[in-house]
A = this chain, B = another copy of it.
Amino acid sequence: MVVKPQVAKFPSIQLDSGETLSEVNVAYETYGELNAECDNGILVLHAFSGDAHAAGISEEDGKPGWWDNMVGPDKGFDTNHYCVISSNVLGGCRGTTGPASIDPATGSPYGASFPLITIGDMVRLQKMLVEHLGIKKLLAVAGGSMGGMQVLQWVVDYPESVVSAIPIATTLQHSAQQIAFNEVGRQAIMADPDWKDGNYYDGSGPMKGLAVARMVGHITYMSDESMREKFGRRRSRGRTPANEVSDLFEVESYLRYRGEQFVSRFDANSYLTITRAMDSIDLSAGYHSFGEALARSEARYLVISFTSDWLYPSYQSQQIVRTLRSRNLEVAYIELPSNHGHDAFLVEVGELTELIRDFLANTFRVMIARRHNQI
């Protein structure tokens, strides 16, 4: 299935910071058809470096989407039954307005003047998109990692608009360690003289700093065990510090490759903007507690974590579950066994497919039943 990204345009969006951003674009894709009742819409939310291309084959570069193994006909998010929507986040660099976009007020890229963005701002723009597509209430919002944070923010900010929520490998708030890893990435970018305080769009940009930041990320996405299985202490040909060809550990070559590859598709200012949003998420803002914030909605939950994920460890998902259960909300929690670390949410398809397929089918039945009861 070849898919083509679409763009929705909005005159402006109000941000949590108080600022207003004008002429906002949102890149999005849809998979499956919206039914006549407009009640089979599912929003899937990408992680930090993802984009709108969640499924199918990109018309542009022929690549499958980041959740192609989960979204499609007969897959976990079965597009024979549901209309799945995916969009690039605000502050991103993959079609949605972000720091590299042209500021209509100046005719130049925003760069350093791009405002601080929150997860709430990302979700607000998604809500505008979903309404633009004619959907008042989503059957489900689902996503892993930063996508899972958006899932929770959706429930808090639009409690009437979400029938169910699937937060995967995520957290109510970043720990000091999670902030610390993001900060190292930011420092690597800002240490690069080509960053130029964020106003680098007439040059190459901080390519080396961004590559280093991505390398740190990749280590945190894998597990000690998955790295041992994938690389061990095997050697391969590479370059020494002095740029001579030499034996390197395979894990070194891999990290360098992934770092360099990332630079070609990601904007360093988006890296700064989005990691800041993740670090500062506060779902309880304006409420007395996480529980009070989440209890505004009657959404059903499927909360999933993975045993070897040390970046978003299971104890964080378990905190979400405790918060929901303490408010008598309907929540299923599954800790899936996996060696893949945080990457598991993109990799472990087998059991996840069944869990999500069943949860969605059941949610649809519950929704119809509730509706009949209300009549």
**Contact in complex: B112, A232 (CB < 8 Å):** no
Give chain B residues whose Cβ lies under 8 Å from the Cβ of A272. Answer: 241
Give chain B residues whose Cβ lies under 8 Å from the Cβ of A208. Answer: 191
Query: What's the nearest-Cβ distance from chain B to residue A368, in Å?
Result: 41
**Contact in complex: B233, A173 (CB < 8 Å):** yes
What bracket does the count of chain A residues touching chain B fall in? 35 or more
Which residue of B184, B197, B230 is within 8 Å of A215 (Cβ)?
Answer: B184
Whether A22 sits at the interface, judged by CB under 8 Å, is: no
Which residue of B216, B231, B241, B255 is within 8 Å of A190 (Cβ)?
Answer: B241
**Contact in complex: B231, A211 (CB < 8 Å):** no
**Contact in complex: A228, B186 (CB < 8 Å):** no
**Contact in complex: B219, A191 (CB < 8 Å):** no
A/B interface sample: 12 pairs, CB < 8 A? A174-B233, A175-B233, A176-B232, A177-B228, A179-B252, A183-B251, A184-B219, A188-B188, A188-B191, A191-B208, A191-B211, A249-B279
Task: State the A residues within 8 Å of B (CB).
Answer: 112, 173-177, 179-181, 183-184, 186-188, 190-193, 197-198, 208-209, 211-212, 215-216, 218-219, 222, 224, 227-228, 230-233, 241-243, 249, 251-252, 255-256, 259, 272, 279, 310, 313
Query: What's the nearest-Cβ distance from chain B to residue A252, in Å?
Result: 5
Looking at chain A's contact residues, is the secondary structure mostly helix, strand, loop, or mixed?
A: helix
Q: In the complex, A228→B178 CA distance in Å?
A: 10
Query: What's the nearest-Cβ distance from chain B to residue A39, in Å?
Result: 38
- Nearest B residue to A220 via CB reads B219
Give chain B residues whose Cβ lies under 8 Å from the Cβ of A224. Answer: 175-177, 310, 313
- Nearest B residue to A217 via CB reads B184
* In the complex, the 5 A-B pairs of residues with the closest C-beta atoms, listed nearest first: A191-B208, A176-B227, A176-B231, A176-B251, A183-B252
Which residue of B177, B186, B219 is within 8 Å of A177 (Cβ)?
Answer: B219
Q: In the complex, A350→B183 CA distance in Å?
A: 33
